[in-house]
C-alpha cells in the first residue's frame, strides 16, 4: 500500500452506534494534526453515517465488503493491518468489544484487529446499563490486559435518555491519545515544569490588571512534552483553554501565586520552561470592596511583582532554564539582554504586536537565542510546531548536560 513516511498513519474503525457521527470530527482532527487517516466501517456504522463523509475528510475511499475481490486486489485487509501505526475504534460498541475480546473475525474491521501489530485504542460507547453489565467489563479488562488502551466512556446524558457512564469521550481527547501512542518518546521520564497563561492582579473584587495571553503557547509546550514522555507539571494562569490530559496542573491567579508555586515545584525539575505572560506590576492595594466611580476616581499606585525568571536564574543549579520574551520593538536586543541578565539556557523571543504571532492566536513567529550568541529565526508556524522545535532544543541541551 502507498504510504507517506512523513505522516503518522491512523486506521480509524467505526462501529454501529449513535456516536458514529462524532467519528467525523475525530477523522478531521487527526487529519489536521498531520496524520494520514484511513477509515473502516462496519455495516451497522454505515446506517448511522455515510462513508462518503469520511472519503471527503480523509481523501481516501472507505473499503466496503471485505469479500469484494476488486477491493482485496487493491487494498487488502492485510495491507491495512500492516499499514497502520495505530488502530483506533471509536465508537466501540458492546458487540464489537465482545468480538475483539474473543478474537472473532467476521468482518473487515475485526479481521484487521487480529492481523495488525499496531497499538489499539478503544473508545467505548453504549447504553449505561450495557456498560455496567459484568460481561462488558470482563471484555474490556481482557483487551486492556493484551495492551489495548481504553479511553472513556464519559458519564452524562446519553442518546437513549438515560444518565450514567456510556457516552463516547470527546473526539479531541481520543485524537490526543492516538497521537500519544505514535509519538517518539525521547523525553521519557524527564521532569519538566511549564508555566502558561496570564496572571491577574486585582485592584478590587471585580477589576484587575492583566494581558491578552490565552496560554496557548505554554499549553502546547506542555502537551508536546507529555506526548514525548516527559513528566509535566503545568502552572497555569486563568484561561478558557483546556489543559492537556496527563499533566499535573497547578492553577494560579496572580503573579505572586505563580511565584510561590514555581518556587515550590522547581527544585524537583530538570527543565523549567517559563512561557507564562506574568504581570510586571500589581496595584499596591487590593480593595476589599468594589471601588466606586466618584469624581476623578482614586489613584491606583502600582508596584513591581516578583521576577520569577530572575529568581530561577539565580538558583538554577543544573536545571535547564528556558524563558520567553514578548516584545513590541527591538525584539532581539531586548530578548538578548533579558537572557543574559536572567542566566537562561535558551530564550524564545517574539513580536507580540504582530497580528499573526502575538497573544491569543494559533500561530507564532519566534527567534531562539542562546548564551553563545546563536540566533535561529523560525518562519510563521503553528504554536504546536514551535513547541516541538523548542523541545528538540531542550532535548539537545539535556544530552549535552
338 in a known ligand binding site: yes
The rounded distance, in Å, linking the Cα atoms of 8 and 391 is 19
- Per-residue cell: 314: 539565580
324 in a known ligand binding site: yes
- Per-residue cell: 320: 535547564
β-strands 363-364, 381-382 pairing: antiparallel
- Cβ–Cβ under 8 Å, residues 325 and 346: no
Neighbours of 272 (CB within 10 A): 27
- Cβ–Cβ under 8 Å, residues 237 and 317: no
- Cβ–Cβ under 8 Å, residues 391 and 187: yes
Q: If you ran DSSP here, which 8-state letter would residue 391 be given?
A: H
- Cβ–Cβ under 8 Å, residues 181 and 121: yes
One-character DSSP codes across 47-106: GTS-HHHHHHHHSSPPP--TT-HHHHHHS-HHHHHHH-SEEEEEEE-HHHHHHHHHT---
- Cβ–Cβ under 8 Å, residues 176 and 148: no
Q: Among 190, 197, 256, 253, which residue's Cα sits nearest to residue 224?
A: 190
Half-sphere exposure of 346 (CA within 13 A, CB side): 24
The rounded distance, in Å, linking the Cα atoms of 177 and 12 is 13
Question: Residue 243: in which H helix or E strand, if any?
Answer: none
The rounded distance, in Å, linking the Cα atoms of 367 and 347 is 8
Concerning whether 31 is annotated as a catalytic residue, the answer is: no
Question: Residue 310: in which H helix or E strand, if any?
Answer: helix 308-314
Question: Residue 107: in which H helix or E strand, if any?
Answer: none
β-strands 281-283, 302-304 pairing: antiparallel
Q: Which of 31, 35, 160, 286 is catalytic?
A: 160
292 in a known ligand binding site: no
- Per-residue cell: 178: 492516538
99 in a known ligand binding site: no
Enzyme catalytic residues: 160
Binding site, by residue number, is: 280, 290, 324, 338, 342
Binding site for CTP, by residue number, is: 280, 290, 324, 338, 342
Amino acid at each position: 500500500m502507498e504510504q507517506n513516511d512523513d505522516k503518522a498513519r491512523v486506521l480509524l474503525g467505526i462501529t454501529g452506534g449513535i456516536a458514529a457521527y462524532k467519528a467525523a470530527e475525530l477523522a478531521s482532527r487527526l487529519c489536521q494534526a498531520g496524520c494520514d487517516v484511513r477509515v473502516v466501517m462496519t455495516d451497522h456504522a454505515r446506517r448511522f453515517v455515510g462513508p462518503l463523509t469520511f472519503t471527503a475528510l480523509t481523501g481516501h475511499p472507505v473499503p466496503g465488503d471485505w469479500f469484494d475481490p476488486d477491493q482485496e486486489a487493491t487494498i487488502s485487509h492485510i495491507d491495512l493491518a500492516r499499514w497502520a501505526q495505530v488502530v483506533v475504534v471509536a465508537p466501540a460498541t458492546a458487540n464489537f468489544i465482545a468480538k475483539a475480546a474473543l478474537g472473532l473475525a467476521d468482518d473487515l474491521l475485526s479481521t484487521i484487529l487480529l492481523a495488525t501489530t499496531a497499538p489499539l485504542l478503544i473508545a467505548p460507547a453504549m447504553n449505561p446499563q450495557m456498560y455496567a453489565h459484568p460481561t462488558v467489563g470482563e471484555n474490556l479488562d481482557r483487551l486492556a490486559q493484551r495492551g489495548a488502551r481504553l479511553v472513556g466512556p464519559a458519564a452524562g446524558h446519553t442518546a437513549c435518555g438515560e444518565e450514567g457512564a456510556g457516552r463516547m469521550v470527546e473526539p479531541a481527547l481520543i485524537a490526543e491519545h492516538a497521537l500519544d501512542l505514535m509519538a517518539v518518546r525521547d523525553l521519557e521520564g524527564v521532569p519538566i515544569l511549564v508555566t502558561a497563561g496570564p496572571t491577574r492582579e486585582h485592584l478590587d473584587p471585580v477589576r484587575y490588571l492583566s494581558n491578552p495571553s490565552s496560554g496557548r503557547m505554554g499549553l502546547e509546550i506542555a502537551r508536546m512534552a507529555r506526548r514525548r514522555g516527559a513528566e509535566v507539571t503545568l502552572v497555569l494562569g486563568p484561561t478558557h483553554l483546556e489543559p492537556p490530559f496527563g499533566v499535573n496542573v497547578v492553577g494560579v491567579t496572580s503573579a505572586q501565586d505563580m511565584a510561590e508555586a514555581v518556587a515550590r515545584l522547581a527544585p524537583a525539575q530538570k527543565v523549567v520552561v517559563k512561557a507564562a505572560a506574568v504581570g510586571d506590576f500589581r496595584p499596591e492595594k487590593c480593595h476589599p470592596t468594589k471601588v466606586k466611580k466618584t469624581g476623578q476616581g482614586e489613584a491606583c499606585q502600582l508596584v513591581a511583582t516578583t521576577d520569577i525568571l530572575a529568581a530561577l536564574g539565580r538558583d538554577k543549579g543544573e536545571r535547564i532554564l528556558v524563558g520567553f520574551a514578548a516584545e513590541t520593538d527591538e525584539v532581539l536586543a531586548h530578548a538578548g539582554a533579558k537572557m543574559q541578565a536572567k542566566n537562561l539556557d535558551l530564550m524564545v523571543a517574539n513580536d507580540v504586536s504582530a497580528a499573526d504571532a502575538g497573544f491569543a492566536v494559533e500561530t507564532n513567529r519566534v527567534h531562539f537565542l542562546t548564551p553563545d550568541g546563536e540566533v535561529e529565526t523560525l518562519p510563521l508556524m503553528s504554536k504546536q510546531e514551535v513547541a516541538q522545535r523548542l523541545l528538540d532544543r531542550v532535548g539537545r541541551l539535556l544530552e549535552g548536560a
